[in-house]
Amino acid sequence: MVDVRVPVLVIGAGPVGLATSLFLGRHGVPTMVLEKRDGTSLLPRAPGLQARTMELFRAAGLGKDIRALEKGDTHAYFEGGIIQVETFAGIDDAVLLERPSLDGPQVSPERVMGCGQDRYEKVLAEKARENGADVRFRTKLLDFVQDEDGVTATAEVLDTGEKLTIRADYLVGADGAGSQVRRTLGVEREGRGTVFHALSIYFQAPELEVLLKGRKFILCYASAGGTLMGLSRLHGINPWLAAPIYHPDQGEKPEDFTDERCVGIVQRAAGKDIDVEIVAKIPWEGAQLVAERFRTGRVFLAGDAAHVHPPAGGFGANTGIHDAHNLAWKLAGVISGWAGDQLLDTYHAERHRVGSAMAAQALVRNRIRHGYATDEDKKAMVDDIIITLGYRYRSTGIAAPMDTPTLTQELALTGEPGTRAPHYWLDRDGERISTVDLFWDHYVLLAPAGEAGQAWADAAVKAADELGVPLRTYLVGTDLVPAEQDRGWADVWGIPEGGAALVRPDAFIAWRGATDEGEPKDVLGKVLAAAAGLEPVTTQA
């Protein structure tokens, strides 16, 4: 007997699971979310939201809700970079380790933002429910099986012991590094494995702000006492977070870290016997592991269930939310009937490459910050803005060579297929928007106004009608008016004379070309079909 039927069952109600549910709901797909915890996070973990993550929230209609959680201007903390001291009392002698580029008005309409999970998870849960999600805490997945038509899961309501049988078309495992979904599937992981063990100590220490003299930073490492300890300002918001490393191979255990010992660790790092109140202690592992596959039939892995890496760089929650966004529009397309199953294969093809690249970059940063990086490590490091905004997709749905690297040493958001569409300010009926704002639930054909552009637009409409794919067309110069004077739109996008670009619902460019490729109706019939995971259709004149 099936108790609940739902298109998509999501396991895990952290940032990734809630984002998956929210994005699907915004596409009109109901979900059920199961989470064994009592509720959303009570601790300000994962406090750095990247510009690309903010773009996704903006596209989903909750950008203002998330931005409203910001307490003061948190951007200055990101600009302060990553520093190292012997003690926090010696802040004047701090050494700059990294000053990553994270955003900029030429590359994104959004800026990075500081906000802990304890605040933004609540908004994600609220908005997911508003968009039709059934979010259930204190409910644990017991098992699941899949067949050709769907997935049958059993779960337990922890407060009552009641058992639920849930039938879903698809299941998404966003249940963390120890993912039960991944283990049930038998999916192996590859990578460096455990790199270090650390203890997150959340604490109150009013005097610490005085010692730091208002210095802005993302992270400050203190080496006093022989134990490297990272301190996060959490972007000016209490409690503070300290993360000392401990060594199980030397007999150290999390339970050895009493409150008294943790106070001593903080005081040694501070260089002064300041008052410290311990709020919480959470042991964790810094590891680098990536699942061999992100799709197994009707079951998908996202976030830490798919890829884990050291927190250096703050890529974890952000990368997981990007997983959720990539997967959600594709599932919505297949469930709605306009996309083919092959589109779901592109989730693994695209996000596995990105997840592996993020994990590698996080490990490089970890080695640099902990002082044992090789010259090869330092050479391999890519600036953060490339990692967060400049990664490249390669799959059967994108008209670009498969061997192009996921990350490059230079940021190049120039309209190349597989990259996020370049940000450019436009005027639409008196409203100032970014090109990034044009994309959510339709493919978009963009072309310069004129005879050639109209031909591309007409051909795109015909191809979309034959394929049954949602599509909008815009001619820049008539439908949309460039709001910038110093940068030409076609130049920024790399649109050749007489050319056009096809952009996916997730703002990634599927194709860019010109009339020398062939008749627009034939070219777009093929590229749009591939972008939607369908068999090619040649439109009729």
Instruction: Give domain limits for the chain.
Output: 1-339, 425-531
CATH number of the domain at 1-339, please?
3.50.50.60
Catalytic residue among 221, 347, 393, 474: 221
Instruction: Give tens-digit pLDDT for 215-273.
Output: 989 889 888 866 667 888 766 667 888 888 888 989 988 998 999 999 998 999 999 99
- The amino acid at residue 424 is Y
Instruction: Give tens-digit pLDDT for 65-119.
Output: 999 999 888 888 888 888 999 999 999 999 998 888 899 999 999 999 999 899 9
Show Cβ contacts of residue 168 under 8 Å, excluding neighbours closer than 6 positions.
5, 6, 7, 8, 9, 32, 150, 151, 153
Give the 3-state secondary structure of residue 143: strand
Q: Along the 541 residues of the chain, how does pLDDT read in single tens digits? A: 789 999 999 999 999 999 999 999 999 999 999 999 999 998 888 888 999 999 999 999 999 999 999 988 888 888 888 899 999 999 999 999 888 889 999 999 999 999 989 999 999 999 999 999 999 999 999 999 999 999 999 999 999 999 999 999 999 999 999 999 999 999 999 998 888 888 889 999 999 989 999 898 988 988 886 666 788 876 666 788 888 888 898 998 899 899 999 999 899 999 999 999 999 999 988 889 999 999 999 999 999 999 998 887 788 899 999 999 999 999 999 999 999 999 999 999 999 999 999 988 988 888 887 777 788 878 888 999 999 999 999 999 999 988 889 999 999 999 999 999 999 999 999 899 999 999 999 999 999 999 999 999 999 999 999 999 999 999 999 999 999 878 899 999 999 999 999 999 999 999 999 877 788 999 999 999 999 999 876 444 4
| Residue 537, pLDDT score | 62
Tell the burial category of 359 from Cβ atoms under 10 Å away from its Cβ (0-12, 13-18, 19+).
Answer: buried
Number of H helices, E strands in the chain: 15, 25
How far lies 435's CA from each of 59, 104, 164, 183, in Å?
A: 11, 15, 45, 41
Distance, C-alpha 524 to centroid of its chain: 30
Residue 9, beta-bridge partner list: 32, 171
Distance in angstroms (rounded) separating the CA atoms of residues 57 and 374: 38
| Residue 539, pLDDT score | 42
Distance in angstroms (rounded) separating the CA atoms of residues 315 and 363: 11
Class of the 425-531 domain? alpha beta
Asked, colleague to colleague, whether 1-339 and 425-531 share their fold, the answer is no
Find tokens 């959510």 and name the residue: 440
Tell the burial category of 171 from Cβ atoms under 10 Å away from its Cβ (0-12, 13-18, 19+).
Answer: buried
Show Cβ contacts of residue 149 under 8 Å, excluding neighbours closer than 6 positions.
169
Phi then psi for 137, rounded to 5 degrees?
Answer: -85, 170
In angstroms and rounded to an integer, the radius of gyration of the C-alpha atoms of the chain is 24
| Residue 371, pLDDT score | 76
* Burial annotation 416-436 (CB, 10 A radius, 16+ → b, else e): bbbbbbbbbbbeeeeeebbbb
Known catalytic membership, residue 77: no
